[in-house]
Structure 1
Amino acid sequence: MSCMHSPMSLMTHAVAIAGLTVGDPVERRPQPLSVELGPGIVDNIFDGIQRPLESIAKLTQDVYVPRGVDVPSLDHNKQWRFTPVSFREGDPISGGDIFGTVHENDILHSHKIMCPPNVFGTVVKVYGHGTDGHESFTLDDTVLEVRDDTTGTTHKLGLSHFWPVRKPRPVAEKLAGNVALQTGQRIIDALFPSVLGGTCAVPGAFGCGKTVISQALSKHSNSDAIVYVGCGERGNEMAEVLCDFPELTMTINGQEVPIMKRTTLVANTSNMPVAAREASIYTGITLAEYFRDQGSSYI
């Protein structure tokens, strides 16, 4: 929703408007559609606007998403073991700087906690091991305080931050691809090789095996993270993906580890509104850019 001229507003909606009536109050949010970026993204299933489908199903005990349900995208009650690195009080800091790490799971051992791209200034206080004795934090806790030297305001940074899906996360430059993407499929690696950082397309008709190839890359490729966006797929196809992916495993140090430990699923079927399906693409891109900023390779 975007306000044009008071007292008039222009609304763009992605759900049914049967509940709207003349005279309903309109509240303008201070930010566009944004996603929450932080620990807990992997091993999760979202819809196109980053609503956690598994959490909603457990809360409502229903197969449908009820109208008006409000669940945080990431788990704000889970404790994460935070270890501050590099920065001390008085050090300058800017967007993209890594000021701590969190142990995510057996595959993503070090989830890097970064300063949001739109924050810069001087470190005022650092929380965590070696300072005030606290090591475990939730996403609601403050782990770093930064003072903006221009405005004098203090930003309280946590383990997560929000970023608009329509705004690309800034980069200094685009590096040329020089590392091969190992898919684990000899026919692809031999005849259709690609590089990490490249772009690939798998066209085909119904039932030709496009999903099989995507699952094979998710299981055997040499990438660090997987963001699977099911945009406009038929409901039964997306249901198959949601059932199959949690059962896939990969071998890490001689142990079978669920592939969902490095995978994020964004599900948006063809019966969803066009605006919601379009948003799912940008949601998946933003999640993938977050992994890229950590120095991870992703598919």
Structure 2
Amino acid sequence: MEGKIVKVSGPLIVAEGMGDAEMFDVVRVSEHKLIGEIIELRGDKASIQVYEETSGIGPGGPVYSTGSPLSVELGPGLIEAIFDGIQRPLDKIYALGTSRIERGVEVAALDREKVWEFLPIAKAGDKVAAGDFLGYVQETALVKHYIMVPNKLEGTVEWVYEGPARVTDVVAKVRDAAGEIHEITMLQKWPVRRGRPYKQKLAPTEPMITGQRIIDTFFPVAKGGVAAIPGPFGSGKTVVQHQLAKWADAEIIVYIGCGERGNEMTDVLMEFPELKDPRSGEPLMKRTVLIANTSDMPVAAREASIYTGITIAEYFRDMGYRVAIMADSTSRWAEALREMSGRLEEMPGEEGYPAYLSSRLAEFYERAGLVVCHGGEGRTGCVTAIGAVSPPGGDISEPVSQATLRIVKVFWGLSAPLAYRRHFPAIDWLTSYSLYVDQLTDWYNKNVDPDWKNLRQAAMQLLQEESELEEVVRLVGIDALSLKDRLKMEAARSLREDYLQQNAFHETDTYASGKKQVGMLKLVLEFYRKASAALEQGADFSDIAKLPVREAIGRAKYVEEKDVEARYQEISRQLDAELEKLLA
């Protein structure tokens, strides 16, 4: 079907003669065949958001409807790939001999010529249904890529292939109940705006261990949970997401650079291939999909990138993998919504954002979760979504931050003052929260330490009381505090500087296991408890503050994982001996 352009307004084009088209159909605009998507229909007029530069396009040009919604290609070749917001492979486009994406360029998302070794799991005569494994491809050293029976198909396997094959080659034939033969290739397509189906959604009960002490101990996120990282410019949102991508116990990482500055996205593209996966020693890219959508790309493409990323994440979830998706940042995505809404002349909501901002954000985050996948194995998979938010000036009262906070259950609020003091991760322990703590307590008590919840509460209370005491100090000076309160501030300082502060570039301190985290926390709290007892027995406060063991507690973060237990017991004995000597 062909329509005609009647109006061009930046990335928004209005075309007439589109009466047979449907919402969210993909269209090709003008002789350049620019990719666009229908976002509004009024009679035979369609409003189209174009994902490429529209300069030079004018009224009268043709619009061709493809008759299908915006979809992603799913199959072997996703891992290690770098796509733009609408799943065009950037390395393949670069290989065409251009440093910029030419308008109307058409390159298949998955390589049609690459040969993969397909190994069957199902055999002729097997009864199969949607989601069952037919076979697999060893896509990288870290990822086994399973080929599943497509959605809504059920029947008997007539034939399964074994050997080298391209993604478009038929690898299995399934006969349905009506007797029709379905030929199945390794390549499937899925509309990005529609969540992939599953049998059942489960309540998450296990944390996604990140190795970052402030996250795992104080504000954990569950596997299949949703978290937001709001913070002003320079407070470390991207660094936190890099740490999570590297260390979180997720098997697949989908990283979306959604409208971030070009140099920041360049850093990601340059660094990720160099990073080593700490568990296997292989490059981190061997289990990563990158979607690079920088600020200089058309604003409309930012919106598509979020949906492209979450659909790829759901695809690997359906294989039974634990997937973590990082969106950096959803504020840029919301700006795209605001611009397109303005061009559609819709009634604006707060600060010009569309009235449906909250529902669109909810649609994205609701696609995360722990689910029972389709397939006879009864396997579970999960998508954990972590979205960075970049509020102007760090003001989280603005609409995108507030809409996000109403949806997510974990809030890691980044603080500019902490970042300026070189305290990283700059997550503010007084404003951040996790609503998963009660659900995860049993897991922590069983797998980390039986006293985990009480240790966490004691540490949080110490930090809260320090904040209140700091108000007093600012008003009347530290000399107005009692010796007990001064000791409390010393212990809280140790908790902040020795425990919460973590060096991402130090090979030992960059990651702390649960056992190490609890050991460090016990040392700090033990010092406070025993020093308080010594103070009551007449020990001098200045002598307690200068104890040599305090330096040993401060350096506990640099102890190797294998030496943690022995070294921490040694520090505990040193503390007892020094306090005993002080009281003598």
Residue identity in the other structure for 1:216: Q
Counterpart for residue 284 of structure 2? 259
Normalised by the length of structure 2, the TM-score is 0.47
Distance 1:161 1:22, change over 3 A: same
- Matching of residue 56 in structure 1 with residue 93 in structure 2: yes
Superposed CA offset, 1:218-238 (max 9, x none)? 111111000001112112211
- Matching of residue 71 in structure 1 with residue 79 in structure 2: no
- Contact 2:128 2:154 (C-alpha < 8 Å) held by counterparts: yes
- Contact 2:78 2:289 (C-alpha < 8 Å) held by counterparts: yes
Find the partner of 1:126 among 160, 163, 170: 160
Q: Return the offset for 1:291.
A: 0.9
Q: Return the offset for 1:5.
A: 4.0
Counterpart for residue 233 of structure 1? 260
Residue identity in the other structure for 1:217: L
1:271-282 matched pairs, under 5 angstroms: 271-282=296-307
Structure 1 Cα separation of the partners of residues 228 and 238 of structure 2: 12
Structure 2 Cα separation of the partners of residues 204 and 49 of structure 1: 27
Structure 2 Cα separation of the partners of residues 11 and 84 of structure 1: 46
Distance 1:33 1:5, change over 3 A: closer
Counterpart for residue 154 of structure 1? 181
- Contact 2:115 2:165 (C-alpha < 8 Å) held by counterparts: yes
Structure 2 Cα separation of the partners of residues 27 and 123 of structure 1: 39
Higher alpha-carbon deviation: 74-83 or 46-55: 74-83
- Contact 1:47 1:268 (C-alpha < 8 Å) held by counterparts: yes
Question: Greater share of helix residues, 1 or 2?
Answer: 2
Residue identity in the other structure for 1:178: T
State the structure with bigger RCO (CA 8 A, min sep 6), 1 or 2: 1
Q: Return the offset for 1:154.
A: 2.9
Residue identity in the other structure for 2:78: I
Find the partner of 2:294 among 245, 269, 273: 269
Residue identity in the other structure for 2:155: G
Find the partner of 1:46 among 59, 75, 83: 83
Residue identity in the other structure for 1:28: S
Overall identity of the aligned pairs, in %: 48
Q: Return the offset for 1:78.
A: 1.4
Residue identity in the other structure for 1:76: R
Superposed CA offset, 1:152-195 (max 9, x none)? 54321111200000111001111121222111212221111121
Q: Return the offset for 1:247.
A: 1.2
Superposed CA offset, 1:103-145 (max 9, x none)? 111111x2111112143333232111xxxxxx11110110011
- Matching of residue 107 in structure 1 with residue 142 in structure 2: yes
- Contact 1:83 1:101 (C-alpha < 8 Å) held by counterparts: yes
Structure 2 Cα separation of the partners of residues 125 and 295 of structure 1: 25
Q: Return the offset for 1:11.
A: 5.2
Superposed CA offset, 1:71-111 (max 9, x none)? 1101121111111113423x332221111111111111x21
Structure 2 Cα separation of the partners of residues 53 and 221 of structure 1: 27
**Structure 2 runs not aligned, ≥5 long:** 4-17, 22-42, 325-584
Structure 2 Cα separation of the partners of residues 49 and 153 of structure 1: 34
Counterpart for residue 137 of structure 1? 165
Q: Return the offset for 1:274.
A: 3.3
Counterpart for residue 361 of structure 2? none
Structure 1 Cα separation of the partners of residues 123 and 58 of structure 2: 49
Residue identity in the other structure for 2:101: V
Structure 2 Cα separation of the partners of residues 156 and 261 of structure 1: 30
Q: Return the offset for 1:30.
A: 3.6
- Contact 2:173 2:181 (C-alpha < 8 Å) held by counterparts: yes
Q: Return the offset for 1:19.
A: 4.4
Q: Which runs of 4+ in 1 moved over 6 A?
A: none
- Matching of residue 163 in structure 1 with residue 190 in structure 2: yes
Distance 1:212 1:155, change over 3 A: same
Structure 2 Cα separation of the partners of residues 273 and 65 of structure 1: 12
C-alpha RMSD of the superposition: 2.2
Q: Helix, strand or coil: the match of 2:322?
A: coil
Superposed CA offset, 1:224-275 (max 9, x none)? 000001112112211111111111112345xx31101111111112233332
Structure 1 Cα separation of the partners of residues 81 and 44 of structure 2: 38
Residue identity in the other structure for 1:195: A
**Structure 1 runs not aligned, ≥5 long:** 129-134
Q: Return the offset for 1:280.
A: 0.5
Q: Helix, strand or coil: the match of 1:200?
A: strand
Distance 1:230 1:64, change over 3 A: same
Structure 2 Cα separation of the partners of residues 293 and 30 of structure 1: 27
Higher alpha-carbon deviation: 91-100 or 206-215: 91-100
Q: Which has the larger radius of gyration?
A: 2
Distance 1:197 1:5, change over 3 A: closer
Distance 1:30 1:124, change over 3 A: farther
Residue identity in the other structure for 2:69: P
Paired positions, count: 286
Structure 2 Cα separation of the partners of residues 153 and 19 of structure 1: 46
- Contact 1:107 1:252 (C-alpha < 8 Å) held by counterparts: no
Normalised by the length of structure 1, the TM-score is 0.89
Structure 1 Cα separation of the partners of residues 293 and 304 of structure 2: 9
Residue identity in the other structure for 2:131: G
